Structure 1
């Protein structure tokens, strides 16, 4: 049973947007990285639709740690349509079930690991994507969405204020953290190569930073730190000037987009998934004002050495999502609502 009322509202929103048509009914969907934020919400939204929209979808949740997965899906462990699979994606796929759809969310996303384990970031991304594509090559009725990132763009010099999918910015390959955006580029290229050479139904979703209900309270990324500062009535401390511009998408809006691309995305194409935009400093001010009722302030304290923090370089970028909207995508949440729903979701767990 889902006790988080905010998440329940989100799953109902996804169910009405995605599953009411019956397009995915009676299918089997493989979700990699199923204990991650996006992967777990994809899995839970399917299981919710099974119960409330009679979708009858079997979910193969690919995970590295079964015990972690049992904790992540504790509300659904008795569901016969959920199958937790300990799968090594760095090896060729060996699976008995017929898979109709693949949502490939698995990726190393921790900034610290990008600095300390860059080879792992690159090789995990490439090998896992290659092995999934080889499976689809041998099972051509299967469709896949690869979950890419807005970091794909790097630093865009021209058109950064309205970046469409054809823009390609600069990535400094001498910086070790560049392993992450470069891994997204090579995996998209690999997907497009397989789509063209073997006529596979594969496309890519370039997700903006995605947050909202479903983000664990333990998350320590910038948006979560801002929200916790508001909850604790403590000032927001920035370790940079906050000039970087971010693109954001609410969790349920992102999951909705992924399923839309799984059904309607054009093979070999990439789609921006973003609906909100702000600089870091303006986002901090929004949280201080709207979530903390202007009772806290934003304080900039820049350390002498930023190299160990794994921060991305300052980026000016505003993504254009017209290509995705042309398929019918209609996101529901603005940036203020994203923060408020995340905080209210956290508070619902405190009341248990």
Structure 2
């Protein structure tokens, strides 16, 4: 993960984030063993170490073993820069439990609620769990924010927009249709409902929240169960295999490298307007699925092959031909993406290749 970490370090040099807002504060991150939550935890860790801000980062996890594998080295060796002379300036602490359960938490100032099932395979085989994570889990975090007078950012998705024609991309006020007769709608419908939960807690209890609507995110922090098309392509490329595409690949998507997404989430957590949703997307990172496959097959030195999808695979596919997010709103608070798609995919493939090599040596 050397290139991923270097990418974070480079972004920290360019971001205009008020890191002092984290000083002597506590941040709870749900979903921190997933792709996006992990990157947010990493960036807060590196950023607060870099700028000398004391912060407690609480990682909510069902698996202590997995959390220790991902963050254990940071707990043991958490001073990375000479600017941070004091030991243990950033503390990472684990809380074992499920986001859907009622639990006791320490005093929390900021909540990054990133827990959930975002992979299409889960939509078809675990729809109940998908909805519970988005509904019950969000309710638990909103109750915690209410009790602690904490600020919460809810990690949502561009899929809440549903289906409609928007050549210039979906902007935050757009509303499209969702087919609630489809099993796959367990994901976008429960994400929509979770956003309404946030608004309801704000109106009734004064909870301070903002919403990040993510486009298609990718990076080496992706989990093994991530079955989204770009993650699937990347795993094949990292393994030196042909890229298999199971459709014509004409669907157009906004994509964003995970460290850029993490930087946007942190900026919104600190500076986003309360009660407002923000798309996280860059105008320069839009492409069709087959184009993603072409780039990755070139990086891997393999072929792009077309095959038919199984019925189970089809049941998890999005029916939207165009999922382009308009990122003008978040640009106004100073965010921009630093990683272009080709560079981001190359970084991801190289890091995953290194991981694969290390695992094969260990075996």
Q: Does 1:89 align with 2:99?
A: yes
- Do 1:201 and 1:266's aligned partners in 2 also have CA atoms closer than 8 Å? no
Q: Show CA shifts across 1:283-324 (max 9, x none).
A: 2123234x14xx544332224635665222242132101000
Residue 291 of structure 2 aligns with which residue? 282
Q: Show CA shifts across 1:153-192 (max 9, x none).
A: 1212x32542101111111111111000111100111112
Residue 15 of structure 1 aligns with which residue? 12
Residue 264 of structure 2 aligns with which residue? 257
Residue 308 of structure 2 aligns with which residue? 302
Range with bigger deviation, 8-17 or 35-44: 8-17
State the distance in 2 between where 1:21 and 1:303 align. Answer: 46
**Structure 2 vs 1, CA of residues 232 and 350 (structure 1 numbering), >3 Å: closer, same or farther?**
closer
Q: Which runs of 5+ in 1 are unaligned?
A: none
Residue 337 of structure 1 aligns with which residue? 343
State the distance in 1 between where 2:147 and 2:239 align. Answer: 53
- Do 1:246 and 1:317's aligned partners in 2 also have CA atoms closer than 8 Å? yes
Cα shift at 1:49: 2.8
Query: RMSD value over aligned CA atoms?
Result: 2.3
Residue 25 of structure 1 aligns with which residue? 23
Cα shift at 1:87: 2.6
Residue 71 of structure 2 aligns with which residue? 73
3-state DSSP class of the match of 2:290? helix
Q: Does 1:129 align with 2:138?
A: yes
3-state DSSP class of the match of 1:84? strand
Pairing partner for 2:108 from 99, 105, 112 = 99
- Do 1:19 and 1:55's aligned partners in 2 also have CA atoms closer than 8 Å? no
Q: Show CA shifts across 1:32-76 (max 9, x none).
A: 111111111211222223433222110010011111111121322
State the distance in 1 between where 2:65 and 2:168 align. Answer: 44
3-state DSSP class of the match of 1:92? coil
State the distance in 2 between where 1:50 and 1:307 align. Answer: 42
Cα shift at 1:224: 3.2
Q: Show CA shifts across 1:109-150 (max 9, x none).
A: 23222112212211221111112112222322x111000011
**Structure 2 vs 1, CA of residues 127 and 318 (structure 1 numbering), >3 Å: closer, same or farther?**
same
Q: Map of 1:1-352 to 2, 5 A cutoff? A: 4-16=1-13, 17=15, 21-78=19-76, 81-95=91-105, 97-140=106-149, 142-156=150-164, 158-215=165-222, 220-231=227-238, 234-275=241-282, 276-289=285-298, 291-292=299-300, 296-303=302-309, 305=311, 310-350=316-356, 352=358
State the distance in 1 between where 2:225 and 2:185 align. Answer: 26
TM-score (norm: length of structure 1):
0.89
Q: Which runs of 5+ in 2 are unaligned?
A: 79-87, 359-363
Q: Show CA shifts across 1:213-232 (max 9, x none).
A: 43357755322332344455
